[in-house]
């Protein structure tokens, strides 16, 4: 079996003696991987995280069991109507005419419509079953008759919840209402169709709805739905990439010009970076991994790491050229040392990313896989291709007597960096123990403070802010972003609709619903609800939608059914206690059968009760209160709904962050110990390598809490990523120290290590922070936060590596010398 020295020797041969062959081979692989670009799909929004979670599966079960409106071939569109009074005759007619316009368009595949205008029209004329008949009923009614119909409809299930919070039943007034249009769309995937991103039939239909209303001259209505939400999710990905990638490229190019200071070297660096991106995206297409909002962070990460490798490779090569060695000899010396360092850096970085495989959330696992593969590709390109290309071009220059520029390495003694870098070494000489003690104590305080960092998961993280920065409007095509309305619509619903803008919890109740006690037990569970649940006006019962409400509504409309309920209502509370099977059968034969099917399963062994929550209640409060109500049911009950699902994901995010951090620390420590034992014969140097990065993690957590940045779907990965990326900086210093320590005394070895790598580390830090930091320009808040936190993580890793590592190496050296002397 070949040793690592044999592998490095083989690479030295290929780079030094066969550089042209290496270049051609890498270009051929690049061409082959471009075939994967055509298979790349997109995925966005919250559904990518919730898919597969137990809470989401429970919600899917509810959607599948209750009502045709939740079938696999339907999707719903919301029409949000705003007016001085949406319950006045003109507004009611406008809504009904909008429904007529939509129903008359075959391309919209309208299956049914539901609105307060429908309810009022049916009360005015119980025989009005078509939209034309409903329009006639409203047109022929007087304002007083309409007001009376509104007052009667106020107790109907879902009527008040479809109106804004300023609804006044006595005055028959409200400023806004939400109507629902159900479409029959094969393959729509249910009511949430389209939320996973990209163009879909649901998106197309909902966009057509807006066009139809606009061309029909119907004003004052906002079209909203999962397809429109999906379209904006997808647009956010494209717009963010069009802003972030060019900005990163431009800023990185400026730093590369400073770092390489040679046009041909700059060209080779840029080609290598492009190659790393092409390889990674090609792999994604071949592997069938969809491009999600989380993966927008991968290109800047790869650019940052690639720049780091490139600067180190070229700078180390220039050091040897400055000593008078030839092209091939200089590159052999550089690669002999750097390939080991690159292996250590790549190993720890890949472990940091792969630690995210412990997450229960698919997008975080995909992020870990893609980033790890991308980093692996990057080290191959910058560890083999770039040195070979550099040898090839420099030999060509020598043959044609073409001058080189910027041949001096960064961080030389006469440079500004060369004057600053000795200070950490001076601390290591004078007071390493005291300095490390201060750092450990400070880190302990920071870690304690950082444990209070918040955790969150909500839909708004993935959407653009309601008011985007003004500078975005000035961008030319193709960089100008789309117009975004979803966030404003969601904020409007939250502010004006308690039950629509607020959240709701669905209780999935299972058991023998024909038993006499079934409905009474369901009713009693809603008595005196917790604080986050909305109560009915002048009542101690929660505001719920369920089968009991449908029974009461139909009883108010039909005297025969009312008599049936009364005969079986022992305690005279409007809820039947006997012969429930007969009551259900009559209800399912009535005009209210569709409403009943939304709350009663076909085998009559399952029902759902929807509790409305206060819009100001936190997600955690709603879920805690849902668990309290869940325990009240005599029958088996399961709480589900968006807040339950999102809170489950929030818990998974925290678990993911802590688990991946622990795994990353353990694997990285083991890996570093093995590497330094194999390469240097000094395994404890691995712990020295890891020490400053452990300090960095504590300061990152504290910084996030101080800045008010939560651990969310993307920033949850930052702790493990900090281990992987941060070790990069300390690894170069410690590995260089290990090479020098055998031929120099302790402090000379520390000084050479810091001076020799400090310039490269500073250059790579600046480019990395810049490359990743441009994510703050992304339209979605979650990417901006990730960019800010990752940039801070890189800077802190660099700072700790340059400032703390020299003292850690000094203390290690003292311990080794005492042990060897004994």
Mean pLDDT by 10 residues, the chain (822 residues): 72 84 92 83 64 72 63 74 91 90 86 87 87 90 90 78 85 90 67 46 79 82 82 77 78 73 81 91 87 75 79 79 81 81 82 84 84 91 90 83 59 57 85 94 94 78 72 75 78 74 78 88 89 80 86 85 88 85 88 83 87 78 88 88 81 80 86 86 88 90 89 76 78 85 85 81 78 78 82 89 92 86 60
Tokens of 383: 């560890």
Please give the helix or strand (H or E) that residue 698 lies within, else none. Answer: helix 685-707
Give the per-residue pLDDT at 594.
78
Give the per-residue pLDDT at 345.
80
Give the per-residue pLDDT at 448.
93
Give the per-residue pLDDT at 807.
94
757 pairs with which residues across the strands?
A: none
Give the per-residue pLDDT at 194.
39
The residue with tokens 């507004």 is 91
Tokens of 640: 């589900």
Give the per-residue pLDDT at 808.
93
State the Cα–Cα distance between residues 137 and 128, nearest whole angstrom: 7
Q: What single string gives the DSSP state of each residue in 409-434?
A: PTT-TTSHHHHHTHHHHHHHHH-HHH
Tokens of 615: 């819009």
Q: Which residues have C-beta within 8 Å of that of residue 146, sequence separation ≥ 6?
A: 87, 88, 89, 92, 120, 124, 138, 172
Kindly list the strands in the beta sheet with 221-225, ordered across the sheet, starting from the edge strand earlier in the chain.
Answer: 110-114, 176-184, 74-82, 221-225
Tally Cβ neighbours within 10 Å of residue 433: 11
Return the beta strands (E) in 358-514 as ranges: 504-510
pTM greater than the 0.85 cutoff: no
State the Cα–Cα distance between residues 765 and 465, nearest whole angstrom: 30
Give the per-residue pLDDT at 190.
45
Q: Are strands 176-184 and 636-640 parallel, antiparallel or unpaired?
A: unpaired
Given a contact cutoff of 8 angstroms between Cβ atoms, the answer to whether 650 and 670 are in contact is no
Tally Cβ neighbours within 10 Å of residue 450: 20
Tally Cβ neighbours within 10 Å of residue 568: 16
Task: Catalogue the long-range contacts made by 245-252 (C-beta closer than 8 Å, 24 or more residues apart).
Answer: 245/299, 245/300, 246/479, 247/774, 247/777, 248/299, 248/300, 248/303, 248/770, 248/771, 248/774, 249/303, 251/770, 251/771, 251/774, 252/303, 252/307, 252/767, 252/770, 252/771
Closest C-alpha to 350, from 652, 675, 52, 49: 675
């Amino acid at each position: 079996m070949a040793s690592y020295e044999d592998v490095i020797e083989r690479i030295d041969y290929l780079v030094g003696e066969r550089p042209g062959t290496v270049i051609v081979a890498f270009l051929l692989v690049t061409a082959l991987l471009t075939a994967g670009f055509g298979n790349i799909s997109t995925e966005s929004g919250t559904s990518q995280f919730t898919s597969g979670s137990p809470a989401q599966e429970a919600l899917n079960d509810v959607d599948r069991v209750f009502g045709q409106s939740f079938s696999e071939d339907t999707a719903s569109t919301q029409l949000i109507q705003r007016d001085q009074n949406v319950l006045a005759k003109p507004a009611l007619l406008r809504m009904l005419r909008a429904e007529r316009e939509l129903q008359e368009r075959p391309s919209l595949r309208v299956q049914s419509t539901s609105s307060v205008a429908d309810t009022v029209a049916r009360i005015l004329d119980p025989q009005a079953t078509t939209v034309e008949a409903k329009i006639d009923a409203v047109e022929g009614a007087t304002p007083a008759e309409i007001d009376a119909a509104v007052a009667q409809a106020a107790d109907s299930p879902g009527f008040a919840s479809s109106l804004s919070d300023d609804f006044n039943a006595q005055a028959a007034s409200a400023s806004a209402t939400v109507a629902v249009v159900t479409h029959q769309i094969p393959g729509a995937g249910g009511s949430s169709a389209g939320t996973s991103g990209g163009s879909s039939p649901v998106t197309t239909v909902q966009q057509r709805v807006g066009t139809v209303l606009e061309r029909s001259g119907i004003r004052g209505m906002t079209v909203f739905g999962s397809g429109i939400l999906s379209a904006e999710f997808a647009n956010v990905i494209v717009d963010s990439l069009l802003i972030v990638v060019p900005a990163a490229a431009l800023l990185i190019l400026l730093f590369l010009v400073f770092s390489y200071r040679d046009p041909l070297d700059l060209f080779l660096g840029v080609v290598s970076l492009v190659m790393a991106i092409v390889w990674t995206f090609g792999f994604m297409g071949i592997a069938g991994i969809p491009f999600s909002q989380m993966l927008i962070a991968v290109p800047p990460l790869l650019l940052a790491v690639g720049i780091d490798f490139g600067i180190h490779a070229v700078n180390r090569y220039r050091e040897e050229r400055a000593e008078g060695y030839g092209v091939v000899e200089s590159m052999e010396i550089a690669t002999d040392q750097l390939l080991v360092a690159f292996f250590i850096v790549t190993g720890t970085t890949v472990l940091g990313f792969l630690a995210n495989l412990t997450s229960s959330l698919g997008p975080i696992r995909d992020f870990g896989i893609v980033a790890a593969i991308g980093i692996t590709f990057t080290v191959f390109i910058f560890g083999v291709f770039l040195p070979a290309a550099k040898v090839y071009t420099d030999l060509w220059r020598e043959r044609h007597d073409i001058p080189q520029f910027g041949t001096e390495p960064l961080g030389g003694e006469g440079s500004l960096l060369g004057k600053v870098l000795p200070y950490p070494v001076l601390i290591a000489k004078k007071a390493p123990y005291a300095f490390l003690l201060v750092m450990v104590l400070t880190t302990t305080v920071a870690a304690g403070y950082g444990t209070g960092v918040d955790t969150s998961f909500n839909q708004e993280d993935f959407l653009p802010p309601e008011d985007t920065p003004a500078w975005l409007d000035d961008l030319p095509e193709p960089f100008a972003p789309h117009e975004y309305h979803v966030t404003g619509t969601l904020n409007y619903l939250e502010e004006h609709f308690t039950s629509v803008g607020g959240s709701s919890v669905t209780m999935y109740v299972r058991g023998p619903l024909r038993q006499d006690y079934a409905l009474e037990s369901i009713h009693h569970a809603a008595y005196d609800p917790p604080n986050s649940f909305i109560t009915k006006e002048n009542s101690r019962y929660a505001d719920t939608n369920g089968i009991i409400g449908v029974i009461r509504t139909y009883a108010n409309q039909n005297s025969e059914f009312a008599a049936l309920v009364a005969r079986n209502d022992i305690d005279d509370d409007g809820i039947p206690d006997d012969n429930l099977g007969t009551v259900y059968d009559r209800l399912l034969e009535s005009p209210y059968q569709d409403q009943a099917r939304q709350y009663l399963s076909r085998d009559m062994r399952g029902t759902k009760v929807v509790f409305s929550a206060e819009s100001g209640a936190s997600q955690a409060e709603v879920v805690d209160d849902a668990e309290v109500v869940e325990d009240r049911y005599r029958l088996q009950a399961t709480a589900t709904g968006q807040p339950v699902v999102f809170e489950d994901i929030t818990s998974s995010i925290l678990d993911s962050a802590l688990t991946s951090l622990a795994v990353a620390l353990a694997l990285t420590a083991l890996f570093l110990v093995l590497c330094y034992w194999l390469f240097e014969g000094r395994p404890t140097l691995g712990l020295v390598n890891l020490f400053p990065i452990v300090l960095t993690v504590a300061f990152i957590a504290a910084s996030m809490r101080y800045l008010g940045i939560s651990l969310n779907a993307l920033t949850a990965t930052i702790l493990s990523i900090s281990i992987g990326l941060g070790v990069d900086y300390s690894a170069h210093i410690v590995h260089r120290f290990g090479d020098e320590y055998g031929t120099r005394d302790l402090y000379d070895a520390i000084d050479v290590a810091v001076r020799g790598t400090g310039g490269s580390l500073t250059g790579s830090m600046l480019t990395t922070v810049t490359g990743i930091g441009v994510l703050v320009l992304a339209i979605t808040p979650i990417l901006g936060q990730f960019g800010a936190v990752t940039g801070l993580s890189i800077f802190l890793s660099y700072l700790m590596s340059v400032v703390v590592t020299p003292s850690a190496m000094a203390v290690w050296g003292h311990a080794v010398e005492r042990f060897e002397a004994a």
